[in-house]
Structure 1
Amino acid sequence: MKIWVDADACPKPIRETIIKAAERTKIPCTFVANHVIPLPKRLNITMLQVESGFDVADNEIARRVRENDLVITADIPLANDVIEKKAQALSPRGELFTTENIKSRLNIRDFMDTMRSSGVHTGGPAALSQADKRAFAGHLDRILSKYGQNNKQ
């Protein structure tokens, strides 16, 4: 397992949670962004800086992700690509994307995109809440614990 982080829009508190988890579990973790992200110097925590541009980081993650990897992203199309590769996708708000929910999430995203392009102001996402942070940390811990248990067998 490797953890991939779509780091361009990853909130700092979530990034800190990921770093702590990677340090604790020693699982390789790569933050992918088009700008430098300050990270601690650890052998298993790396930064992959990509060129600026629409979906460049997402495309790089989709290209590199392998079965059983974990991708942290709020990007629904990237989450769909990840699931199709039999990897896991978790949003920074703690939503675990699955084969059961990803198609409806894509439909909602496409509908909202259509609304915005027709001039309807849909607003942005709400601020990251304590409940979001707890949901994320809980899902991350369960995924990494399950990986650790499976790895021992």
Structure 2
Amino acid sequence: MPEIYVDADACPVKAEVTRVAERHGLVVTFVANFGLRPSRDPMVRHVMVPQGADAADDWIVEHAGVGDIVITSDIPLASRALEKGAHVLGPTGKPFTTASIGMALAMRELNQHLRETGESKGYNREFTARDKSNFLQALDELAVRLKREDRTR
């Protein structure tokens, strides 16, 4: 069975992840540098990593494997998780794939350059109810597909 790993520090869809994981009987691990609200659900784990730029990312990459699901908006983490064979979803439900990650990394670098040169203010667009809905649908569909694939092995 796949497991779900969540880059939880700035994740706006924690409740949605828990809901889908519960529905499908999947273990979910929230990984963060600072306080997480503990859960009494034995299928929900919380991992607190030391403060540091990539500590949560490193923990997720070390533990996620082929067929697992990683939830993150961090493009470098998404790239590393894909290299491990994990499926990666952003909090808007958009999947990161081996076909799309190169462009996502390039756009991230371009946007960083534009912010550094003052060409862009770097504002993120608002996270909407529609984004949550898209995420719920995408995660549910991915969980169903992976469980089906797991049964056929």
Q: Does the alignment reach a TM-score above 0.5?
A: yes
Deviation at 1:81, TM superposition (A): 0.6
TM-score by length of 2: 0.93
In structure 1, distance between residues paired with 2:42 and 2:56: 22
Alignment gaps of 5+ in structure 1? none
2:20 aligned residue: 21
Runs of 4+ off more than 3 Å:
none
2:10 aligned residue: 9
Q: What is the SS of the residue equivalent to 1:68?
A: coil
1:136 aligns with 2:121: no
1:128-151: CA deviation from partner (whole Å, max 9, x where unpaired):
112211110111010111122223
1:32 aligns with 2:24: no
The count of aligned residue pairs is 151
Q: What is the SS of the residue equivalent to 1:105?
A: helix
- In percent, how many aligned pairs have the same letter? 34
Deviation at 1:57, TM superposition (A): 0.7
Deviation at 1:93, TM superposition (A): 1.1
RMSD: 1.2
Q: What is the SS of the residue equivalent to 1:9?
A: coil
- 1:3-152 superposed matches below 5 A: 3-11=4-12, 14-152=13-151
Q: What is the SS of the residue equivalent to 1:42?
A: coil
In structure 1, distance between residues paired with 2:150 and 2:115: 45
In structure 2, distance between residues paired with 1:109 and 1:87: 21
Deviation at 1:72, TM superposition (A): 0.2
Structure with larger RCO (C-alpha < 8 A, sep 6+): 2
Alignment gaps of 5+ in structure 2? none
Deviation at 1:23, TM superposition (A): 1.5
1:20-76: CA deviation from partner (whole Å, max 9, x where unpaired):
112222211100001121142111100000011212111111121111110000000
Q: What is the SS of the residue equivalent to 1:61?
A: helix
